[in-house]
Structure 1
Amino acid sequence: MNQPLAYVHPGAKIAKNVVVEPFTTIHNNVIIGEGTWIGSNVTIMEGARIGKNCSIFPGSVISAPPQDLKYQGEDTIAEIGDNTTIRECVTINKGTTDRMKTKIGKNCLIMAYCHIAHDCIVGDNCIFSNNSTLAGHITVGDHVILAGMTAVHQFCSIGNHAFVTGGSLVRKDVPPYVKAAREPLSYVGINSVGLRRRGFTTEKIREIQNIYRILYQKNYNNTQAAEIIEAEMEATTERDEILQFIKNSHRGIMKGYIASN
């Protein structure tokens, strides 16, 4: 890295083969791993921890202080995993005392104009399409896809392998393996296309479908459905993951779709 038109604070720890394009500013207390490319006009602020082989496109601001009136300047971080791409004008804020960090996993694609607020934890292999927005304290699992202009309410959770359709307002927790659509956001089936692409067998997909039929299509409440699933469905990793997600949901899980009259 030898770019005279970029400003890199002497206290930043930048791997030797990182490329920093002109007019980028990198503050103190920043770590950037090998092979990463930082485009022009990027601002990387104190507390950024960026992994290897990442790409950060022009206009992005990484590790800015939280947009939270309770933040008092505590020493927190924003962490981005290896092989993650951050497209134009993405904003990722660092954490507060709640989690002390905001974290994006490995192999993610965060498209242009997305915002990821303080204390969000995002898993690996996620895709957030343009203008998707996470409020604070959100947990997103692995292999989650948010289509364009999705907005997620603070403190929500989205389970592994979930797919949320474009323009959605996510006010409740979205369980693993499902497709979420309509307004208010509702269960519209499992994410069978995504699961097949990731190597789930037909038998495993059918098992997940059967679990969600009990939860969403049999007119049970969540407690009743969970008891039936636990009693009648064979114990598997996926079954237990779904049951644990329901049990741990603080905001409540999204409803099944009910057709209007």
Structure 2
Amino acid sequence: MKIKRDKTVGIVGGMGPHSGCDLFEKILSNSSAKTDQEYISVVLMSFPSSHVDRTSFLLGETSINPAYSIVDVIRKLEVSGAEIVGISCNTAYSPRIFNVIQNELKRVKCNIKLLSMPFETCMKIKREHSNITRVGIMATNGTYKSEIYKKQLVDLGLEPITPDFEFQNEIIHAMIYDPEYGIKSNPEHIHAKAKVLVKKAIEYFKNQGAEAIILGCTELSLIIKEKNIKGMEIIDSTQEFSRALIKEAKVALQNPKELSFLTN
């Protein structure tokens, strides 16, 4: 079952810095490789200071669109040999950012194949959880406002569940972004208040009848490790994206059964 050739995966990291590392780690942990040589090739580029905050742009707090700095990194990844690229930030897939990325890549004739984290995450539910119809979304305010997950779920015939903006801002967004207790501020040592807020968010979705919750921000998997909470499936966007990138990279398998682990 030797692999003739894998495509090289490129990761646009730095948004936040831990999320790029987490995506890389999940690519390794989801691999079926038995030797060093059987792992797919991955190039991770993390330039945190190059990218303005995606949510700040979407909320009008800055006029600088991070799409252009993201394109710069994608082009660097292409030069480095990457053929498939994933951006390790859900908010970067919001149309006002992602559409510009796609147009710029087309303009400069970049041949990279760019996968979508929200699309791959929602397809996981549709493909493997046919009994699930009501899906909660936990995400940043930028992703919340752009409704990218909401629209993806509706397109797939699923019912998205989102809180009102007050709850979204004071509970979900705060647990991610608050400068004192947010996950971004304390990625290595999750603050006690963030843990309290995540419990409130989970309880909210349970009370609303959610059958699954999408972790629609890459930082959320740093605080929510479980696969199922209170009977709700936890869909980790980073986990599902890593599997999609692996599947795309495995282009010349002698035995397609080698990809069977991706459905586990």
Q: Same fold (TM over 0.5)?
A: no
Could you say which structure has the greater relative contact order, defined with CA pairs below 8 angstroms and 6 or more residues apart?
2
Structure with the higher fraction of residues in strand conformation: 1
Structure with the higher fraction of residues in helix conformation: 2
TM-score by length of 1: 0.28
